[in-house]
Amino acid sequence: MYRILYLVGIGFSPLLTSSNLVSVFSLPFPLPQLQMKREGELDKVLSWANIYPCAHQLWMGNFISFLNIYDPDYTKVVYSRGDPKAMDIYSFFLPWTGKGLVLLDGPKWFQHWKLLMPAFHSEVLKPYVDLFVESTKAMVDKWDKNIQKDKCVNIYPDVGHMTLVSLIKCIFGRSSKSHVQRYHQAIGELTLLMQERLAIFQYHNDFFYYWFTLHVWKFLQACKIAHDHTDKVIRARKAALKEEEEQEKIQEKKCLDFLDILLGAGDENRNKLSDADSWGEVDTFMFEGHDTTASGISWFLYCMALYPEHQQLCRQEVQDILGNCDAIQWEDLGKMTYLTMCIKGSFRLYPPVPQVYCQLSKPVTFMDGRSLPEGSLVSLHIYALHRNPALWDKPEVFDPQCFSSENSSTRHPYAFIPFSAGPRNCIGQQFAMTEMKVVTALCLLHFEFSLEPSRPSIKWLQLVLGYQNGM
């Protein structure tokens, strides 16, 4: 069982040096370090949010402190600026993902952002619908066979595998079944190892982690599996691009994959991404694009099982749109209004990434006069923001009507941010929503979902919002 040590309100922080802020955001007296089970951490933050309406100070270990915010006005002040990610937290990902868009900052981040934006244009995403349908049908067929033997199916592993298969097709344009399984195991191992490293303070020290833990061998081996595949495919594709005939084939392709666009992208000075840059962006997209979507799909189906009346309304909408056909076209997705509202409803209660961190590049003053100095770490707690009783009438209730056009138009723009917020929000959110709609629509078309009473799903905070006991 992983545990994280929090010290709340200790009265001194090397980062939060303003006496005004420390007195406001700390508890009135020191507390011992709290050992919290991972499954109870999210609810613990909610209890603190009830005491401190906008934000509070937290410690990770004994030396890393940050301000935990869950108020839309506070969020707007910080996340509308585009401050870089908090490398005290995210530097652990460097050996795995390299410096992709998530970890870059400054002019290089902007350069990569401009080069990558075309990869997520709607015209590029349209052909991906067929890939999502193909992968989903394979998963549905597997479930069909399984429920003939046992009506209880743990959906999360299959959803994770399906999103990975889809992502490999979208990135590389091909899929090797044996390699997908090996890669999926490596990504799962890396995810757990990274969460463990974040949770155990001693592991934050590179020297200690790389020389005195057994975990490092698993970590390095899993990194090698991920990197070898990425490097092999990039080299092969670049070699092929040198041939004129191959370039003509790519230009004529109806479905450009992510790697086609990545290797062909250039700025106004015709500068292209280096091999290291391409490797970093592919591995970043691999992590960001499958585990988060798998979490979102799984928790959506959990909500459908928990609220059968909404499940039936979604199913009826999909049936009305598709008729007797189970093939989905791009144009169909825009008609799935109630399904989209329910997806957003599940995102509100169960955001795939419950918490993100940034480091202030310059001081900030909030609207109430409180301030933070340059270098402060700020955590945007999306989970707590989405359950803030000041923003939502029934914060703990699944209510798709919150996302009707009427209700959405009057909501604070930073009250609902499942893909983060500001200029550094998720570049792939349209990709994720497209896949979410295709997968969930087909799942509801083929199955009626209900919960297994003997195996309740318990929220489990990993790098994404996971579960215990199966789902």
Instruction: Provide the annotated binding site for heme.
Output: 426
Owner of token pair 């790519």: 250
Q: String of b and e for 292-320 (b: at least 16 CB within 10 Å)?
A: bbbbbbbbbbbbbbbbeebbebbbebbee
Long-range contacts of the stretch 139-147 (C-beta < 8 A, 24+): 140/442, 140/443, 140/446, 140/447, 143/446, 143/447, 144/446
* Token digits of residue 310: 């909404």
Amino acid identity of residue 51, one-letter, is I
Residue bearing tokens 């090397």 = 14
What is the C-alpha to C-alpha distance for residues 364 and 74, in angstroms, rounded to an integer?
10
Report the Cα 236 to chain-centroid distance in Å.
Answer: 29
Bind-site residues: 426
Strand 377-381 with 64-69, pairing: parallel
Tokens (6 digits) for 65: 């402190």
How many residues would you count in the chain? 471
Q: For residue 461, list its beta bridge partners.
A: 465
**Number of other CB atoms surrounding residue 87 within 10 Å:** 15
* Orientation of helix 429-446 relative to helix 128-149, angle to 10°: 40
Q: C-alpha distances in angstroms, 411 versus 46, 80, 138, 264, 415?
A: 21, 17, 39, 40, 7
Contact (Cβ atoms closer than 8 angstroms) between residue 471 and residue 155: yes
Output the CA torsion sign for 226, 228, 231, 233: negative
Partnered with residue 57 across adjacent β-strands are 67
CB contact set of 235 (below 8 Å; sequence gap of 6+) = none
**CA–CA distance, 397 with 90 (Å, rounded to integer):** 33
Residue with tokens 């935990």: 68
